[in-house]
Amino acid sequence: MAIQQIRLPDGSTYNLEEWLHWPTYSVVEGAAGANVNLRAFSYVVGNNVPQAGVISSGARQATEADTNMVAKSRANHDEAFIFFAITDEFFALEGTTDSNSFFPAGPPAVAATAPLLTGTNLRWFQLLMLQEFFVGANISKPMARAPMAYYGQGVGAQGFGPGTPTAVAVGPATALNLNYGTAGLVNPVDNQRRWQMPVMVESDRVMYARLSTPGGALTAVDQDWRIRVILDGVKRRPVA
């Protein structure tokens, strides 16, 4: 436990706690069409990033852009968290071109180039992927459980789906309509599903998020992908 209180000889006490707004994040990755059962917040910088299937870039070690956890699957002994929401940011690790696009009459193809995830792939994630948050060792009942569609994407870049007039060059002489999937407005006030009650994670308490596809593999997803899971809340700054 961190030092939180100092008692002086005259009986008075001083609290040394300092709480900061501290979004806590962790990345998981997967291959197109993979069956998913991954734990975010289960590693620290230098460990392997959790992956589902075999992605084109192969296994890799986590950097500071992948996680800001300082202990695996738990709050460190000198910190604590209060989380108000969970949100996600979606990336593609490879581009894709869909010539069988949504347009009915001899349409141009639609495409997304990495790190853009197509709107179609995003909707498959929202339909088939389950996201849960667990607190406590050997706990089978999550603090939160919902399909990915329930959680608003309050972070990331704002984009537009297929049918927009924006064209992108893919190759020397090919123009394709941009297909870019984002889960709504980039605004944590209007598009972040806040829990009705905050979740407290005490020092040394086990915590992790699980992303899974209970119905099986994401066979319709045709891009290797990366999801950054973000727990939005406050952190007690270590004082000793």
pLDDT in tens, 109-137: 667 888 888 888 999 999 999 999 999 99
Instruction: Identify the sign of the CA torsion 68, 149, 131, 31.
Output: negative
Cα-Cα-Cα-Cα torsion 92, 93, 94, 99, nearest 10 degrees, comes to: -20
Tokens of 147: 């399909």
| Main-chain phi, psi angles of 217, to 5 degrees | -65, 150
How does DSSP classify residue 150? G
By the 8 A CB rule, do 76 and 239 touch? Answer: no
Angle (nearest 5°) at CA 128 between 131 and 196: 35
Confidence of residue 173 (pLDDT cuts 50, 70, 90): very low
Tokens of 107: 């349409």
Distance between CA atoms of residues 42 and 99, nearest Å = 39
Instruction: Identify the sign of the CA torsion 124, 126, 128, 134.
Output: positive
By the 8 A CB rule, do 109 and 32 touch? Answer: no
Helices (H), the chain: 119-128
The rounded Cα 11 to chain-centroid distance in angstroms is 47
Distance between CA atoms of residues 199 and 222, nearest Å = 35
Tokens of 20: 């900061």
| pTM of this structure | 0.84
H/E segment holding residue 196: strand 194-201
What are the extents of the domains in the chain?
Answer: 20-236
Quick: pLDDT tens for 137-153: 998 999 999 999 998 88
Q: What percentage of the chain reaches a pLDDT higher than 70? A: 78
